[in-house]
Structure 1
Amino acid sequence: MGKKDLSWKSYTLTTTILINFVLGGGNAHVRKKDIESSLQDIHDVAIASLGDFCNKKQFKSLTVPLDTLKFESVRQKADLAATLLQDLGVAHHNGLQDAISKNLIVTDKSVLSSRILAINASTGSIVNCAWWQKQISDIGEPKKISDTGMEIGQRPNSEYPWYEDADSSPGVRSPKFIESPPNVAYKGWWTFPYYSCSNRKWIVSYSVPIPPPGRRGLKGFLSLDVDVSYLEVNQCETIRNQQVNNEISIFHGSHKCHNFSTKCIYRSNLNQETWTRGKYHCVCRSGFYSEYHQGIFNGTLVEIAWSEYLKTGSKSWELIFQCKKCAPGCLFCQDPSPCLATYHWPFRITLLTFSIICVICTIILILYMYKHRKLKVFKVASPIFLSITLLGCATMYLEMAAIFPILDQYSCIATKWSRHLGFCVTYTALLMKTWRVSLTYRVKSAHKVKLTDKQLLQWMVPIILVMLIYLGTWTVSDTPNTEEIVDNAGLRFKQCLYNWWDHSLAIGEVLFLAWGIRVCYNVRNAESLYNEARLISYAIYNIAIVNIMMIAFHLFIFPRAGPDIKYLLGFIRTQLSTSTTIALVFGPKIIRVLRGQGDQWDNRARSRGVTASFSLNGIGLVPEEAPDLFQENEELKEEIQKLAAQIEFMKIIHMESNNRHVKPKSGGYFSIQNTTSLIHSPLTKTGLNQPTKPPDEM
């Protein structure tokens, strides 16, 4: 791993340096070796004793260039002065040389010193020298330096970084100088940056050779020094379009931080020393941590560890100054502790499997009911509404599949649709049947009221259509998405975001439930075939209670429960509401069919003499079929005959009770024994409350 990281580091470092340097206007052939060598020289100057260092050398020159475009005004003044001296000559204008040299310093704050040399073109010896320099305190006028180390008659010392080689010609660039930017014509050359022991500053010089008018005579040489000590050696990467006027762009990206796990932070206000190596921190990136130094490493130590890594293969740079990746999902961490909640997949798969089995069983129940749809137990309960109810229940079961994986945008969309659409379909189908019972139960007319399934569907379709439009608008305009929440253990996981769309729909569903509860309350005393109205009322009550309880669990009891607990609560809510509804509405019907009683009336309907065309609460037993007028006429005749017989019987009984001289024959039709049996006959209701005393006792 170390070799791989080293290769990546080297590639990134080299690429960053080359790109930044080309953008900075420097030489494209600057090598990484030159940059590393220059950084080492800067480090040596910063930590070495100045006395020992300057006893050996007066200058320490680097091998990397600076971006000299920021000193363009200084260069233009120097070129202008060189042109003036070339036109006027440097042989007989000593006062002019002093004036020009002095004013170059005065007119620009960045110029530290300037010098003009008059040199014999044939011998190369110095004829005259005008060297002016600012005072160390930068207060007062510049002063002329008399002790420059250059005596009249001697050749200039080639050790000076600002002076060209002795044998170089004015048209050939000395290795001491850097290349000029492309497509720019300079009269002179800029030097590489160097440290001057006499000035205790980092300097870059601009030198302009002034050729003589002929082969013989005096040639001039103008040079000025620019103080660059204020520039900062920032080894961190630069940001595109960032202002870096006070930074040396060639050193950008030369830090030794591990790029993959750490990032470089420049410490600009660390101390007054700007030219120093390792003036940065390596800080662990987001999602990484370190057991050492709290993930913040001093750049100087990192530089030393890198050097040891290259020289001796030491592992400290790899082991200490590299950060480790946090546990999955951690944006910030201090140790390898997990940040994401754990999903117990076997537990979730078990619940999901059970829910899928419920869906399959629901579909099988639809097919089973279709097969036995002509049995009275299904026929009188409107098979089409029973099928719609089962489809809604299957949709609600599918919510467990929607919330099974780690939630994302698509699973949240599926969750909202399966939950609310399934509830709407199931609840509306049950409520329409109960509402029909309520309407027919409250009718006081002798004529029965019939509401067909087609009429109820006309009421049901708009309700479902409103839900579809709402869910569709919600999905398109404000697509449901996820949010991260924290459980009791501080672990993060995703759940679907709840916003005003959810709250508005919840309010609407609560009002819908309230209306359903009111309808159920109105039919609490109604009698229906197979006691269906009461069972549907129980199912609606159960749906309301379960949903209210689950909301309370989520908001008050388990507000910060983990993902598995929330999945379990969803499973419990689905089973208590959906499975209980199926058990209440379809359980008794399936049991009757299995017992072979599916085509028989229940005991209450049989005892009340319920006919084949209407029930006690006025609901038609065969609402989908056209009425059989002949059958209804026959039934009406039968009822009229029964009523006439009862009237005649009561007439005779009252006549005997009011005329005691009329004695019935013993054993006759109106004898006491027959009268008692007739009074208790199930064909008359009035006989149920008649006294059993003999007529003579009444």
Structure 2
Amino acid sequence: MSNMNGILLLLLFRGMLSSSTQTIDERYQKAKTALEYVERVRTSSCNGGTEETLPVSFDHRIWAEYAHVAIKMANLLTKIVITNSNKLDTTEKFLFDLVRNNVDNDSPIFGSAIAVEEWVYPKFKTFCPYSYKKKGVFAHDISLNYNYLSNATEWYHTLRFKNWTSARVSVNEVTYRHNSTSHSAKKLIYQPMSVMEYGHWTAPYYDCGGGDIWMVTYSSPIFGFKPNNIPFFRGIATIDIELTNIDINQCDLEDNPTRTTSSSVDVFRGTHNCPLSTTCVPILGQGFIRGAYKCVCSVGYYFPDISASVKSYNGSSIEEALANATSITQFQCKKCAEGCETCIDDSPCLYSFVLPIRVALLVLVVILFASVICLSAGISIFRNTRAIKSASPLFLHFMAVGSALMCTSTLFTYPEPTWATCVSAMWTEHIGFALAYGALLLKTWRISAIFTVKSAKKLNLSDRKLARGFIPIVLFATIFLAVWTGVGKPEVIWSKTSSDLKFKSCDYGFWEYIAIVVEFCFLLWGVYLCYIVRKAPSHFNESKYITWSIYNNVILGTFMIIIERFIAFQRGPDIIYLCRWIHLQVAVTGMLTLICIPKFYAIVSKKKDDAINNDNFTITGRTVGPMVSAPTDVFEAGKPLRDVSTQTESCLIKVCNSTTDNFKLPLPAN
């Protein structure tokens, strides 16, 4: 390669690392051009010299121990120069032995040289013994064919023109041997000392004609003394580090954050040509060449040839294709199926909804919702009939509203969940439960209160007063849901089926289980109330139907919750939706069917109510004999029984009094 190429390259990259005004794009383009130059040098012949340089930088600290070899050799030669009137007056063989000794081992040192100023070595005007490895160790004087004093030789002229007058000077006290029995007088020896900071690391250069390799050189100055012990430059001692084993890392810095500085040239970072669907991974051990990387498929992509043993593209192949102006579309990876974080082929990762099942269930839920609305309208229309009035229309409306809300919660779970639909489903389900089953349990509690009273005192439990019982129930549910929403923070998460298909689901955390336990305890209280009123007389067998409704929800509802949590989630969202639909039928359809259908059947068939033990007494404590415009008090039906009880008590008192006076029991008048 001609010297002109090296000069042009040097001008192109001058300040490549130190300039803060260059843009990233400019540095990127210059680095790409440098790689092309490295490739041309590798594949073409060259002339002798070391002018072909690349101004790139390494972390030289990793080679500090090898640099000390040059420093020690420089200090040794400085001693010889100082003691010989600033001349390197020693044998040629000794100097060749020095440089050969530096490379005759397994260290990364490729070569070593001693170069001095003109006539410093007395035998020749210029002298530069150089030893290097090349299938053995070779040594020769390169000054015969190479002008190392040229300003183009960075490894020499950089130190040659420095001001060394302030270089460190050490003082040694030496006592030589005088004869076989004694020492001579002590002698002070002043000597300039080379240290690591005085040396110079060159930019990488191509050693053409020497080792024909890319290398970097550390030069350490050899000093002499001017009068008054002022140090000045006499030559250099060098070691060469071969870059053949140094990898050019073209990958992005963020791709390999744990990289080691010893095996990378940072200036070439980001110069790879991997397509966007791939990620650059450096291939270590390739040496100082371009294209020492591979392009592996990025996360979310897969290698097109799934049967290939090596699922990556070689960087050298991509570089060659670009050099030949060939398209690199054949080096692309394919995108994974939707929802896949990683994949090896185009297999799906997301669960696909079975629309016929979901749509059919949705239609049934809508029909149920419409039926609840019609039921509420029917209650309003027939509110003055014996069948509806005896069951408290106000509470039947509460049950209808709660059932409609529970239907709405199932509607919210139909589409793919979002945070809004998850929270909406949570609120409508639990508020609906509080209204529907709160009304049912309050009605049952009123029955138990009437038939377990032990006092003759009037017990006033009208619908309006009983409705106040909704306040603590709904208030507790509202506060609980508000805290759940604010603290529990429901969120949408990815779940997996047993076949590893992902789907979105609502994650309510442990708060959901707290809600289930609270509602279960609420229903257990209902079971207790049902047990108390099991023998109470009721109109249209309402007490029995309420009991069945609560038992159904406790047993079947609990069973469906267990199925949904532990089995349905393994099968996917369609089975989950089916379980929730079945649960809805248990909680809503079953309850409304048992409570309301017998009443509307009686209305339609126009049959008279058949009460148990008392034709005028109902489960709600209402009189339903001859219809009146307003309901009587809940204890009006028990008034005849209380009158009989009062008369009996008065008679017993009279008996006791007469017994005390006459010891005779008077006969009653009637």
Give yes or no for TM over 0.5: yes
**Structure 1 counterpart of 2:599, from 582, 589, 596:** 589
Structure 1 residues 343-358: aligned runs within 5 Å: 343-345=353-355, 347-358=357-368
Distance 1:610 1:450 in 2: 21
Change (3 A) 1:295 1:424: farther
Q: 523-532 or 357-366, which moves further after superposition?
A: 357-366
Q: CA-to-partner distance for each residue in 1:467-514, whole Å, 9 max, x for gaps? A: 333332222222223443333544221223364333333233333323
**Which secondary structure does the structure 1 equivalent of 2:580 belong to?**
helix
Partner of 2:143: 150
Partner of 2:216: 204
**Which secondary structure does the structure 2 equivalent of 1:329 belong to?**
coil
**Which secondary structure does the structure 2 equivalent of 1:484 belong to?**
strand
**Which secondary structure does the structure 2 equivalent of 1:573 belong to?**
helix
Q: Cα offset for 1:430?
A: 0.4
Distance 2:441 2:118 in 1: 112
Distance 2:246 2:60 in 1: 14
**Which secondary structure does the structure 2 equivalent of 1:264 belong to?**
strand
Q: CA-to-partner distance for each residue in 1:114-173, whole Å, 9 max, x for gaps? A: 4433249xxxxx8343546578899xxxx996x323249x955869854789xxx979xx
Amino acid at match of 1:251: F
**Structure 1 counterpart of 2:87, from 93, 116, 122:** 93
Note if contact 2:292-2:316 (Cα within 8 Å) is conserved in structure 1: no
Amino acid at match of 1:263: T
Amino acid at match of 2:351: A
1:568 partnered with 2:578: yes
Partner of 1:656: none
**Which secondary structure does the structure 1 equivalent of 2:570 belong to?**
coil
Q: Cα offset for 1:547?
A: 0.9
**Which secondary structure does the structure 1 equivalent of 2:125 belong to?**
strand
Change (3 A) 1:322 1:118: same
Q: CA-to-partner distance for each residue in 1:168-203, whole Å, 9 max, x for gaps? A: x979xxxxxxxxxxxxx9998834432566347532
Partner of 2:304: 291
Structure 1 residues 414-425: aligned runs within 5 Å: 414-425=424-435
1:377 partnered with 2:387: yes
Distance 2:452 2:318 in 1: 92
Q: CA-to-partner distance for each residue in 1:369-404, whole Å, 9 max, x for gaps? A: 345544443333223222221121111101122211
Change (3 A) 1:306 1:405: farther
5+ long unaligned stretches in structure 1: 1-17, 121-125, 172-184, 644-698
Distance 1:97 1:412 in 2: 92
Distance 2:488 2:269 in 1: 45
Amino acid at match of 1:266: P
Partner of 1:236: 251
Amino acid at match of 2:394: I
**Which secondary structure does the structure 1 equivalent of 2:610 belong to?**
helix
Distance 1:68 1:591 in 2: 93
Change (3 A) 1:23 1:323: farther
Structure 1 residues 76-475: aligned runs within 5 Å: 92-95=86-89, 112-119=111-118, 127-131=125-129, 147-151=140-144, 156=148, 162=154, 190-195=202-207, 198-199=210-211, 202-205=214-217, 222=236, 224-229=238-243, 230-239=245-254, 244-246=260-262, 247-258=264-275, 260-268=276-284, 271=285, 273-292=286-305, 301-313=314-326, 315=327, 317-319=328-330, 321-345=331-355, 347-370=357-380, 372-443=382-453, 449-475=459-485
Note if contact 1:431-1:516 (Cα within 8 Å) is conserved in structure 2: yes
Change (3 A) 1:21 1:431: farther
Note if contact 1:421-1:468 (Cα within 8 Å) is conserved in structure 2: yes
Q: Cα offset for 1:579?
A: 2.1
Q: 569-578 or 394-403, which moves further after superposition?
A: 569-578
1:66 partnered with 2:82: no
Q: CA-to-partner distance for each residue in 1:209-249, whole Å, 9 max, x for gaps? A: 99x99xxxx99665745415353322221239756421210
Q: CA-to-partner distance for each residue in 1:661-698, whole Å, 9 max, x for gaps? A: xxxxxxxxxxxxxxxxxxxxxxxxxxxxxxxxxxxxxx
Partner of 1:662: none
5+ long unaligned stretches in structure 2: 1-12, 163-196, 227-231, 648-670
Distance 1:27 1:541 in 2: 80
**Which secondary structure does the structure 2 equivalent of 1:232 belong to?**
coil
Calculate percent identity across the aligned residue pairs: 25
State how many pairs are aligned.
575
Distance 1:160 1:508 in 2: 88
Note if contact 2:16-2:55 (Cα within 8 Å) is conserved in structure 1: no
Distance 2:521 2:636 in 1: 42
Distance 2:521 2:325 in 1: 78
Note if contact 2:338-2:349 (Cα within 8 Å) is conserved in structure 1: yes
**Which secondary structure does the structure 1 equivalent of 2:350 belong to?**
coil
Q: 357-366 or 464-473, which moves further after superposition?
A: 357-366
**Which secondary structure does the structure 1 equivalent of 2:250 belong to?**
coil
Change (3 A) 1:305 1:128: closer
Change (3 A) 1:625 1:195: farther
Distance 2:51 2:414 in 1: 69
Note if contact 1:60-1:194 (Cα within 8 Å) is conserved in structure 2: yes
Distance 1:461 1:536 in 2: 22
1:512 partnered with 2:522: yes
Distance 1:431 1:619 in 2: 16
Note if contact 1:282-1:297 (Cα within 8 Å) is conserved in structure 2: no
Q: Cα offset for 1:65?
A: 2.0
Change (3 A) 1:71 1:482: closer
Q: Cα offset for 1:288?
A: 0.8
Structure 1 residues 492-571: aligned runs within 5 Å: 492-497=502-507, 499-554=509-564, 558=568, 560-571=570-581
Amino acid at match of 1:93: K
